[in-house]
Structure 1
Amino acid sequence: MMVNENKDSYDRKTDTYIVAYFDLLGVTSRIKSDMEKQEVFMNKLHNLYTFSMNLTREIKIKENKEIQFKIFSDNIIIAKKISEENRLEDINCLLSCAAHFQELAASDSVGWMLRGGITIGQLFIDEVMVWGEALVKSYFLEDKVAIYPRVILDSNVISEIKNDSVLSEYMRKDFDDLMYLNYLNNCYYCGERLMKGFELMKEELESHWDERMRQKFSWHMNYINSELDRKKEKKDKKYRLTLTIL
């Protein structure tokens, strides 16, 4: 069987993209659970994917229509080509989409944590494959650097947004001096949803509890509480995440 060797088979090339790579935490243990729970988890995951993609594409902003999603098991890639004439708008579009996805995952409709990485670099993406240095780097940030349920911002993303008064609000510096995505940047009066999502996480993962899990829960709890305090929204002051599992 001969591979098609017409010209169109060889004109693919990479372009400059901003890329987010996510890993949903705890999916392996969910897949290993009993059949009834597996179906519940699978449907949660499917709904999270489809709702996020559909909402992004329904928003009547030209840049949003060009966002691309790739999903395989518990891994998600969200990519947006960067054009020189609309560079900051394209970056803002991807950061907003990534932040919404993480907030939705953490809220009461799903109640799952994730970690990841966001970078800018060369990428090729179509219906068949994803290829390029941006994929490799964003995966590295998720797999080797993030550790906690946070999405690490690569230095090339930071340099693009640090001097912009709007985009810089997507950055937060952590205790280890790494910058991560402030996914609650555009989330207002969301304390109740996040608190209920946190309770769902604790209930679901109580049987898998260990010190590594406690680290992740503590980071997640402290981040959300600090952001709710920062926003100073009176309605949300009564919603505080607490970690009571020993």
Structure 2
Amino acid sequence: MESTWSYGAVAFVDVLGFSALVSSDSKSIEPLHLEKLRALLGNVKEASPNLDVRAFSDCITIAAPLTSDRVAHLFESVISLQRLLVGGGVLVRGGVAFGKHFADDTLVYSEALIRAYLLERDKARFPRVLTDPDLLDWYFHNDDTTPELADAVKALLLTDRDNQIFLNYLRPGDLEQHLAVIQAYKVDNATPSVLEKVQWLGQYHNFVAQSVDSPHVFSGPMLDGFREVIVSP
């Protein structure tokens, strides 16, 4: 990463349920989740040598210079990271934005990071990584964005019902595994926050499943709605 105050694109990814992962590891001799996260980040770094990948506490950032090919690579890397984490039962949400950015071994000083963080904090809400409309406007109208690069990034995006555009990480071939991750959540111990996240995840899952006529469709009380009150005798 160039140590200059110049424009860059940054992804800010929040690991949901991070405190529960740390609490679980703290009760074990060997920190299972720690090693899993380290391995996943190592895979992303190895596959993205031209990007700046960092992790601190429950946050992961990936930064790239503001060029069309690097931004496309950034989107692909964030999707790969989310796919790996969700496949391991770890949900994330985040934002990708652009702005002035500086980073070296000591300091990260970044308008882009702040904009990505605010996008995650204020608008992501569900297990999705949102893309800043200003970044997409720059990308699709930049002279260096070839038709091939434009088509490649467009294929990575979906528009949600609130008109937010997010990165589409779910591949048809991953539907069976993804369904198992969702089904691991049980309605009996679901908090309102967990419930809304699982409901969104199930609806997103079913959108992809129905688009390819897959039998791996999510259903059940976590998604389907209300139940009558049962009083024990």
Write the distance in 2 (CA, Å) between the matches of 1:119 and 1:92: 13
Superposition deviation, residue 77 in structure 1: 0.2
- Alignment partner of 1:166: what SS? helix
Q: Deviations over 1:64-113 (max 9, x none)?
A: 4211111012100001112xxxx321211100001111111111xx1111
Write the distance in 2 (CA, Å) between the matches of 1:243 and 1:138: 34
Among 12, 27, 49, the alignment partner of 1:65 is 49
Write the distance in 2 (CA, Å) between the matches of 1:37 and 1:183: 33
Matching residue's letter, 1:68: D
Write the distance in 2 (CA, Å) between the matches of 1:98 and 1:226: 21
Superposition deviation, residue 191 in structure 1: 1.3
Say whether 1:177 aligns with 2:163: yes
- Alignment partner of 1:149: what SS? coil
Structure 2 unaligned segments of length 5 or more: list them.
142-149, 228-233
Say whether 1:160 aligns with 2:138: yes
Tell me which residue corresponds to 2:97: 119
Write the distance in 2 (CA, Å) between the matches of 1:188 and 1:37: 37
- Alignment partner of 1:100: what SS? helix
Superposition deviation, residue 26 in structure 1: 0.5
Write the distance in 2 (CA, Å) between the matches of 1:38 and 1:219: 33
Among 211, 218, 221, the alignment partner of 1:241 is 218
* Aligned residues of 1:162 and 1:168 also touching (Cα < 8 A): no
Tell me which residue corresponds to 2:178: 194
TM-score (norm 2): 0.81
Query: How many residue pairs end up in the alignment?
Result: 213
The percentage of aligned residue pairs carrying the same residue is 23
Write the distance in 2 (CA, Å) between the matches of 1:101 and 1:244: 29
Write the distance in 1 (CA, Å) between the matches of 2:45 and 2:192: 34
Write the distance in 2 (CA, Å) between the matches of 1:125 and 1:179: 27
CA 1:43–1:168: 2 relative to 1, 3 Å: same
Give the alignment's Cα RMSD to 1 decimal: 2.5
Write the distance in 2 (CA, Å) between the matches of 1:81 and 1:162: 16
Structure 1 unaligned segments of length 5 or more: list them.
1-11, 57-63
Q: Deviations over 1:195-236 (max 9, x none)?
A: 233344x26x974x2111100011111112212332x1x6xx
- Alignment partner of 1:190: what SS? helix
Write the distance in 2 (CA, Å) between the matches of 1:26 and 1:206: 18
Tell me which residue corresponds to 1:74: 58
- Alignment partner of 1:30: what SS? helix
Among 79, 90, 93, the alignment partner of 1:99 is 79
CA 1:132–1:196: 2 relative to 1, 3 Å: same
Say whether 1:225 aligns with 2:206: yes
Among 11, 21, 42, the alignment partner of 1:20 is 11
Matching residue's letter, 1:103: R
Superposition deviation, residue 13 in structure 1: 3.0
